[in-house]
Amino acid sequence: MCGIVGYVGGKKAQDILVGGLRRLEYRGYDSAGIATLDDKNEAHITRSVGKIAELSKALESEPQTGHLGIGHTRWATHGGVTETNAHPHHAGNIYMVHNGIIENYKELKAELKDYKFASDTDTEVLAALIDSNYKDGISLKDAVAKSLKRIRGTYGIAVFSPKEPGTLVVARLGSPLIIGLGQGETLIASDASALLGYTREAIYLNDGELAVCTDKGAEVFTLSLKHLDSKPETIEGDLAQIQKGGYDHFLLKEIMEQATTLHNTLSGRIDPKAGKMHLGGPNLTEKEMRDIHHVVIVGCGTAYYAGLLASYYMEQLVPDLTTEVVIASEYRYRSFHLPKDSVALVVSQSGETADTLACLREIKKRGIKTLGIVNVVGSTIAREVDGGTYVHAGPEISVASTKAFTAQVVAMLMFAGMIAEYHGGDPKLIAEFTRELEILPAEIEKTLNDNRETMEKLAKKYSKFDHALYLGRDTAFPIALEGALKLKEISYIHAEGYASGELKHGPIALIDDRFFEVFTILDNWLFDKSCGGLHEVRARGGKTIVLTNSKADIEADDIVRIDSPIKLLMPILLNTLQQLFAYYVAVDRGNDVDQPRNLAKSVTVE
């Protein structure tokens, strides 16, 4: 949600800022801007509505020459999408970009009577507050620290002033900020991907910290201006991971590369010969594993659905375990209680989702052990959990989550497989899951390659419908929810996921010729019951697509059958087809698949 970049060094800041913003565009793409300080200490701001390409156009006619600057790509929270509301903002001697929400901005605005505000944003108010404190010889660092103490809300900020050329001040509370340390240059980014190719050494700022950055490096302080010893860490990943690699869209690349990324998720964590799974990250003793009797899984959107599917597997694998899967935005405000023998799995691709992070903190307050199921290394959730597992899916750039879902389910499954051994879990079942996990990457690859064209044709056939219902039972139910989410967010077709047993409790009333229905039907003991819903829909003239691994006769308008030795993990495999389907529907409708309207990756505001 919003991307921030900053630069101070010997190079032309504009090029580095715009290049960084392009990489962060997936975090927000309503509007963008940069501000730089030229060699005469004059500041210049260029902003534009729309994507970074618009900003680049604007900069062609008025290039900026300075060697220090800040940039921002916006996902609007306060104030509409206009050039005036775009960042950077400026008040007096302060130039600033901000990610997050200043909750008490109205109260502060009322106090700042000497300032005329051009925008409707909370950011401009913070810039004015800092400027109001930036006088009588007080330094920029001190003015920022003093001002931030008055803030209620969240922020990741980067600030400069013509009065202190060569200095960028940055700070964070609830919004990520990373300081890349280069040779004679320092870079700022809200996401490590903007730093790749420049440096591998970075300081991850913690909440409540502020840093003064110059071309020589960075010094970190608390808001009370106590100097901190911050150790630089190594940034993972490489440039190829954040490029499209020959695909038309990041989304297609991320769907198609799932065999490779899943291989990374599994690497060193399964032993198919012994029929066992083991995750090192949770760092649990045998006693701790034995003592777990309740697992609460927390997430938002796709991460929540991944948790839901994993909970079915956990129940199958661990006989004496109860599970609960909760939506983070709800759970954080509930008066929830957890038994002492609980463990919380906190699931997040970005590791920055504000609601999930808030839940993590609430759960920790109750003395419950928290384990992260996180993709982005060094992210806030990964840093705040007691232990956990990186899912190693690699950078997910497209806004819709695909490969992360697969990796999250598998990581949680391995957690279940590991603790099952200490809870009287059936060794044969654990071994069977392990065997399927071993072949899953290759089966995903085959399934995607074999069915890509079919899914494209199918997508063209259904892309003009207005509504879709996704239906599934048992482990196919979370997949129905996820399939509907994927379709709606990138195609803008209204889509709902339902447990197919719920059809006759309401949604069947919807069926008419504007709808199509996608049934995921597994070849298992519930096959006949799963077909029941399909018959009910067909009897009412519904248009049906069936995704299945069954060889039995099934009547539907379109059937996509998978022939695979995978059984238990079939929902994961079938879900990859839903991802392809959603992708091709969105392409056929001419949508911006990687950056769907109104959305942004990494929802760092509530």
> Taking contact as CB under 6 A, which single stretch among the options 228-236, 299-307, 546-554, 561-569 is the one that binds ligand F6R?
299-307
Q: Minimum Å distance from CB 80 to ligand F6R? A: 23
Residue among 488, 498, 563, 560 at smallest CA distance from 533? 498
The answer to whether residue 167 forms part of the interface with ligand F6R (CB under 6 A) is: no
> Of 85 and 265, which has the nearer Cβ to ligand F6R?
265
Please name the residues in contact with 383: beta carbons below 8 A apart, sequence gap of 6 or more. Answer: 204, 206
Q: Minimum Å distance from CB 405 to ligand F6R? A: 8
- Tell me the residue number closest to ligand F6R, measured at CB: 301
Residues designated catalytic: 2, 601
Specify the residue for token string 């901000």. 98
Contact at 8 Å (CB) between 393 and 303? Answer: no
Specify the residue for token string 């440096």. 199
The answer to whether residue 48 forms part of the interface with ligand F6R (CB under 6 A) is: no
The answer to whether residue 348 forms part of the interface with ligand F6R (CB under 6 A) is: yes
> Taking contact as CB under 6 A, which single stretch among the options 140-148, 262-270, 296-304, 470-478 is the one that binds ligand F6R?
296-304
Of the residues 46, 353, 447, 579, which one makes contact with ligand F6R according to CB under 6 A: 353
User: Which DSSP category does 395 fall into?
Assistant: -
Of the residues 129, 235, 303, 480, which one makes contact with ligand F6R according to CB under 6 A: 303
Alpha carbons 578 and 451: distance in angstroms, whole number: 11
The answer to whether residue 576 forms part of the interface with ligand F6R (CB under 6 A) is: no
Of the residues 349, 389, 491, 500, which one makes contact with ligand F6R according to CB under 6 A: 349
The answer to whether residue 350 forms part of the interface with ligand F6R (CB under 6 A) is: yes
Of the residues 251, 300, 326, 385, which one makes contact with ligand F6R according to CB under 6 A: 300
Contact at 8 Å (CB) between 413 and 345? Answer: no
Strand order in the sheet with 558-561: 494-499, 467-472, 515-521, 543-548, 558-561
- Restricting to residues 376-405, which ones interact with ligand F6R according to CB under 6 A? 400-401
> Of 94 and 310, which has the nearer Cβ to ligand F6R?
310
Task: Give me 272's structure tokens.
Answer: 């198919």
Q: Minimum Å distance from CB 381 to ligand F6R? A: 8
The answer to whether residue 602 forms part of the interface with ligand F6R (CB under 6 A) is: yes
> Taking contact as CB under 6 A, which single stretch among the options 235-243, 301-309, 453-461, 472-480 is the one that binds ligand F6R?
301-309
Q: Minimum Å distance from CB 248 to ligand F6R? A: 19
- How many separate helices (H) and strands (E) can be counted in the chain? 17, 27
> Of 170 and 393, which has the nearer Cβ to ligand F6R?
393
> Of 374 and 556, which has the nearer Cβ to ligand F6R?
374
The answer to whether residue 595 forms part of the interface with ligand F6R (CB under 6 A) is: no
The answer to whether residue 491 forms part of the interface with ligand F6R (CB under 6 A) is: no
The answer to whether residue 489 forms part of the interface with ligand F6R (CB under 6 A) is: yes
The answer to whether residue 301 forms part of the interface with ligand F6R (CB under 6 A) is: yes
Alpha carbons 577 and 562: distance in angstroms, whole number: 10
Q: Minimum Å distance from CB 390 to ligand F6R? A: 13
H or E stretch at 312: helix 301-317
Q: Minimum Å distance from CB 286 to ligand F6R? A: 31
Q: How many residues line the site for ligand F6R (CB under 6 A)?
A: 15
The answer to whether residue 254 forms part of the interface with ligand F6R (CB under 6 A) is: no
Residue type, 415: F
Alpha carbons 410 and 406: distance in angstroms, whole number: 6
Residue among 287, 357, 309 at smallest CA distance from 329? 357
Task: Give me 464's structure tokens.
Answer: 């003009």
Of the residues 64, 73, 356, 544, which one makes contact with ligand F6R according to CB under 6 A: 356
Alpha carbons 460 and 451: distance in angstroms, whole number: 14
Q: Minimum Å distance from CB 357 to ligand F6R? A: 9
Of the residues 46, 603, 604, 605, which one makes contact with ligand F6R according to CB under 6 A: 603
Q: What is 207-237 written as a DSSP string? A: TTEEEEEETTEEEEEETT--EE-PPPEEPP-
Q: Minimum Å distance from CB 331 to ligand F6R? A: 14
For the purposes of burial, counting CB atoms within 10 Å of the CB of 62, is it exposed (0-12), middle (13-18) or buried (19 or more)?
exposed
CA end-to-end span of the chain, whole Å?
11
Please name the residues in contact with 259: beta carbons below 8 A apart, sequence gap of 6 or more. Answer: 441, 442, 444, 445, 448
> Of 345 and 400, which has the nearer Cβ to ligand F6R?
400
Q: In the beta sheet, which residues pair with residue 218?
A: 213
Q: Which residues bind ligand F6R (CB under 6 A)?
A: 300-303, 348-350, 353, 356, 400-401, 485, 489, 602-603
